[in-house]
Amino acid sequence: MSWLNAVELFLQTAVQMGTPLLFGTLGGILSEKVGHLNLGVEGMMLMGAVMGFQVGVLTGNPALAVLAAGLAGMIGALIYAVITITFMGNQVVTGLALTIFGTGFSSFIGAGLSGVSLPENVQASLAAVNIPLLSKIPFFGPIFFQQSLYSLSALVLAVLLYVYLNKTRYGLNMRMVGENPSAAEASGINATLYKYVHILAGGFCCGLGGAFLTLVFVPRWQDNITAGQGWIAVALVIFATWNPLKAIFGAYFFGMLRGLGFKLQSGIPIFGHNVVIPAQILDMLPYIMTIAVLVFITMNKKKENQAPAWLGSPYFREER
């Protein structure tokens, strides 16, 4: 096996490991762009993971399984949305509560699912496929286009979301709600409706991200299967500066970092010395880099890199 081939295989895995992160990040972006910081990503991912698997096992229908995963994430997001939009509750506390709730909910539903395997046909229809033509592209083809359609849909979704955010009227309205809901309402936009729709859509994405693990990657239900990936997604939203295209890069890059640990733990030769990089350093990297990006965007005040101005604050229409 040539080294190029080895790199290909490595990056192919990186894309798979980045896929749940990408879904989670897109969910986070949708929510934060309307001004709602949702720390419940981990919880919604777990809810999606368990419900997707449960429905997949019960019905043997991959489409229903994926749909159920999204809906489960959406229900989590609905709880969050009602508390933070309608009752104007604290977003940080509500998000954390959602994560704790989602973890417990998934353990409860999943209690009977350990040791159960996904029906063959579900596994088969979600397995990696060769996309015609695209998978023939040298080097990049195998990495991005010899993948499950599920992975691929994350990529497509990210591009669509970018177009939606930046090139459509609805996207513009949505960003306006996140920047200044009063101004948005003054111009006739129903801020509450926008918030609900996008937070729920974000929950749907998070649910899909979790279910990628139980339906495609592992594919099995195991308690707390996301093991903190939802938190990496929360960090990735900032890392990507709320931009879905940068989120693609960020998610795959962080996915690669997770895999890189295995490459480096046997040591890499530097100037004739075998240097072993502790895996813990690599585990820290996503967060360190997120902090670095935060510092960077705070210092060079480029407008398009900033967090939505209204992020984290409740909006009360009568309060001017």
Partner 1 sequence: MVKKALALLLAAGMAFATVGCGGSAPAEEAAPAETPAAEASAGIPKEDIKVGFLYVGPIGDEGYSYAHNQGRLQLEEELGVETVYVENVPESADCEKVIRDLIDQGCNVIYATSFGHGEWAYNVAQEFPDVYFGHGTGYLQGDNFSNYMGRVYEARYLAGIAAGMKSAEGKIGYVAAMPIPEVIRGLNAFTLGVRSVNPEATVEVKWTNSWYDPTMEKAAAVELLNNGCDVIAQHCDSTGPQIAAQEKGVFAVGYNAPTYNAAPNAYLTAPLFHWGEFYVSDVQSIIDGTWQSQSYWTGLATGMVSLDELSANCAEGTAEAVDAARQQIIDGSLFVFTGPLKDNTGAERVAEGVQMTDAEMLSMDWLVEGVIGTVG
Question: Which residues would be at the binding site for partner 1 (CB under 8 A)?
Answer: 1, 6, 9-10, 13, 17, 107, 110-111, 113-115, 117, 213, 217-227, 229, 258-259, 261-263, 265-267, 276, 278-280, 283
In whole angstroms, the minimum distance from the beta carbon of 174 to partner 1 comes to: 32
In whole angstroms, the minimum distance from the beta carbon of 31 to partner 1 comes to: 23
In whole angstroms, the minimum distance from the beta carbon of 112 to partner 1 comes to: 9
Are 281 and 28 within 8 A, CB to CB?
no
Nearer to partner 1, 50 or 67 (CB): 50
Nearer to partner 1, 141 or 259 (CB): 259
Nearer to partner 1, 148 or 243 (CB): 148
In whole angstroms, the minimum distance from the beta carbon of 249 to partner 1 comes to: 20
In whole angstroms, the minimum distance from the beta carbon of 126 to partner 1 comes to: 12
Nearer to partner 1, 34 or 113 (CB): 113
Rounded Cα–Cα distance for residues 158 and 25 (Å): 9
Which tokens is 57 given?
């096992």
In whole angstroms, the minimum distance from the beta carbon of 256 to partner 1 comes to: 11
Rounded Cα–Cα distance for residues 63 and 86 (Å): 32
Nearer to partner 1, 13 or 135 (CB): 13
Nearer to partner 1, 10 or 164 (CB): 10
